[in-house]
Structure 1
Amino acid sequence: MSHPTGVDLGSPIRTATVRELDPLAADPALSALREQNARADVPALAAALRGLVPALDAVGAYSAERCAAAMRDLGLFLGSIKRHGPEPLSLVPELRPVLLELGRRTDLVPRDTVHHYCTWNPVGERQRMYTGDAQEARLQESVRLVFPHLRAGIELAATLSDTAPDDAQFRRSAEELTAHVERIVTAIDLVVAHVTPEFFALGLRPYFEEITVGDRVLMGPAAAQVPLWLIDQALWASDHSEPAYAEFVRDSVPYALPRWRDLYARWSRVPSVVSRLVEAFGDNPDDAARRMPALRANSEALARLLRVIVVFRGRHLALARKAYDADLRRYPVGSGGGSTDLLRQILDLTRTAARLTTRPADSGAGRT
């Protein structure tokens, strides 16, 4: 694991390398895409996309980074065409085997994700955007700020999941993870400050619609693909979730990086961190705390961590309510399939998990 400097954790794909690459020589086409979107010029978008489709044997020689960069650039056209109505592959059917091969080579879904749109996107003059609006750039920047801390946080959640609740390392890992989640809160504050609900709901959200690739319907880049839900899974959600949230997470897992999909599978089979802490306290928390001096401090550290996640969830809910207000929204749910009601449920579940760390005797509450 590395310090959050932009180096990928949990992925063999090197972010800095992907950002530099232009395997399809797409820079000019992507510069023109913004104006084509402004005109809703579907024929021009389809023609430009058709001109970028690489030969399948060429894709077979790409590195993982070149595959990611190619998917990133093709994806901007996929989202743009769908925003204006047609299914992209109905207009450019020769792209289908290329998308499938790019997905296979990177072990990701065969379309672009939030990683392509934000993390693997160049910065500066070559930045790929649907609209070119400064607010779109700010949203992409906020996600770029989140991912290094999320990656580091997921690895710390893995450490917590493997650490005994009475081990001194437990508190240190929880405190480090808290610091990373606090930076994620800072990133959502940037969105609130610089991206209006009107711009997101009307100007940007339409570009994140799902498309059909072969026999699969695939979501576009979405907040659900920024997997704070994976940290939830380790900390409490593996055994204190509710069916709606559990289904939402299962639907989001295919869009995660391979390492993260593996962690989700592992954490779905074991007790959560909260449950193991509650079990350590047993029926007599005071006696347990005397026998295991680190247990109380560890519990307090975990409670602080969950309270910071509650802060993030609360701000995300407030932001989503504004963006999906009845006077603005064109869609009933987010691009990742979640509703504001679901966000409210996740917030309540996180609060319940935080209370369990301070009231261990209530260990049965909320358990699925």
Structure 2
Amino acid sequence: MRATANSEYGAADQVDAVRTADPLGADLACRDLVRMNQRADVAALVRGLRALLPELDRVARFTDDECLAAMRDLGMFLGSIKRHGTEPAEAVPEAVPVLAELGRRTGMVPRDTVLHYCVWNPDGVRRRTYTGDAQERVLQDSVRHVFPALRTALEGCDELARADPADARFAELVRMIDGHVAAMVESIDLVLGEVGPVFFARTLRPYFEEITFGGVTYLGPAAAQVPLWLVDEAVWLADDSGDYARFLHESVPYTLPRWRALHARWRGTSSAVTRLVRTVEEAGGVDRAGPGARAGADALVGLLRTLITFRGRHFRIARQAYREDVRLYAVGSGGASIDLLHQVLLLTRQNARMVRAVT
């Protein structure tokens, strides 16, 4: 019988367990990674990846937390090798079955994601970075900071998806979600203040390139993998079928199993905005729709305003980093274009106007 994780993915004790774990004995190799990248020493990176690879029978004895930690550390070498122009699976083909087994064991894609790179990354001198630059640490910390709040917000969204807009509980849930989503604004402000767009575009972004093996291409760690889009889905996107919804279909595999289950449950249902607007219109007015309808509408406007604030600042950062005279890539590592980010901002504003209109 294989060992299992301490608790559900994303719980505080589980995050700590993965950060602490070093099943491949990779601490020293990951400290050397910065030097290898500075020298663009592909040969050393290939040797480093090959040296870290565990045998499959050893992987079978890993706990789930150790599997996540192993993928985190192998992923740092995958991204580094690809950044310097070599497809890692071609340079180290024996890595492919190990990556596939780690993905199978954890129920995730067979490469590292933004969660491996940021949330499950150790603290202090054990922190895994590509560049060693303080700006890279700030970017990682921005995701680490928001993860607990966003996880709680998503559990609130799960209840919200079943809540009656006319009931007082609906407004309570929306306000709770809003309070946690506000951490995203704090996070983006940290990035705006301390991470230069040129550093991100020219120094860091190349480490997040896609890799290909087994005939399948896997995206690198990306902001799009932080599941604020799941909040969008519960609040206003579930019954939409536009470009954003289609883009998110490609992001779903890079999330936790629990979050994929939420997406499957919500997709094609009526969002909170749709349900509230329908409830008010069918009742003939917000004050006829039930005692909680006006409070629910006001709370939704507040939550959408928070989402608009975040989306506006994210769009500003991305526009700076992907200017033609700065960028090395036309789209983000998650595949989103600047035009798509702008479209999401406009759609969120449109939904806020819809809710305000019924009140």
Structure 1 position 294, deviation (Å): 1.4
Look up the match of 1:255: 254
Structure 1 position 289, deviation (Å): 1.7
Look up the match of 1:3: none
Which amino acid in 1 is paired with 2:170? F
Which amino acid in 1 is paired with 2:159? T
Structure 1 position 9, deviation (Å): 6.3
Taking structure 2 as the reference length, the TM-score comes to: 0.95
Q: CA RMSD in A?
A: 1.5
Q: Secondary structure at the match of 2:217?
A: strand
1:309 aligns with one of 304, 307, 310:
307
Q: Which runs of 5+ in 1 are unaligned?
A: 1-6, 362-368
Q: Which runs of 5+ in 2 are unaligned?
A: 1-6
Contact 2:233–2:271 (Cα < 8 Å) also in 1: yes
- Aligned-partner Cα distance in 2 for 1:155–1:94: 39
Structure-2 change in CA distance of 1:9 and 1:63 (3 Å): closer
Look up the match of 1:334: 332
Structure 1 position 318, deviation (Å): 0.3
- Aligned-partner Cα distance in 2 for 1:283–1:62: 56
Look up the match of 2:199: 199
Which amino acid in 1 is paired with 2:314? H
Look up the match of 1:364: none
Contact 2:168–2:291 (Cα < 8 Å) also in 1: no
Q: Secondary structure at the match of 1:359?
A: helix
- Aligned-partner Cα distance in 2 for 1:15–1:184: 19
- Aligned-partner Cα distance in 2 for 1:57–1:321: 47
Structure 1 position 89, deviation (Å): 0.9
- Aligned-partner Cα distance in 2 for 1:120–1:144: 8
Structure-2 change in CA distance of 1:13 and 1:90 (3 Å): farther
- Aligned-partner Cα distance in 1 for 2:13–2:250: 23
Contact 1:8–1:148 (Cα < 8 Å) also in 2: no
Structure-2 change in CA distance of 1:92 and 1:143 (3 Å): same
Structure 1 position 159, deviation (Å): 1.4
Structure 1 position 12, deviation (Å): 10
Contact 1:69–1:120 (Cα < 8 Å) also in 2: yes
Which amino acid in 2 is paired with 1:254? P
Structure 1 position 269, deviation (Å): 3.1
Q: How does 1:1-368 map to 2 (within 5 A)?
A: 14-242=14-242, 244-283=243-282, 285-286=284-285, 288-360=286-358
Contact 1:285–1:360 (Cα < 8 Å) also in 2: no
- Aligned-partner Cα distance in 2 for 1:114–1:152: 18
Runs of 4+ with >3 A deviation = 7-13
Which amino acid in 1 is paired with 2:232? D
Q: Secondary structure at the match of 1:212?
A: strand
- Aligned-partner Cα distance in 1 for 2:240–2:95: 42
Q: Secondary structure at the match of 1:259?
A: helix
- Aligned-partner Cα distance in 2 for 1:285–1:146: 40
Structure 1 position 10, deviation (Å): 6.0
Contact 1:320–1:340 (Cα < 8 Å) also in 2: yes
Contact 2:238–2:266 (Cα < 8 Å) also in 1: yes
Structure-2 change in CA distance of 1:13 and 1:98 (3 Å): farther
Structure 1 position 227, deviation (Å): 1.0
- Aligned-partner Cα distance in 1 for 2:161–2:88: 42
Taking structure 1 as the reference length, the TM-score comes to: 0.93
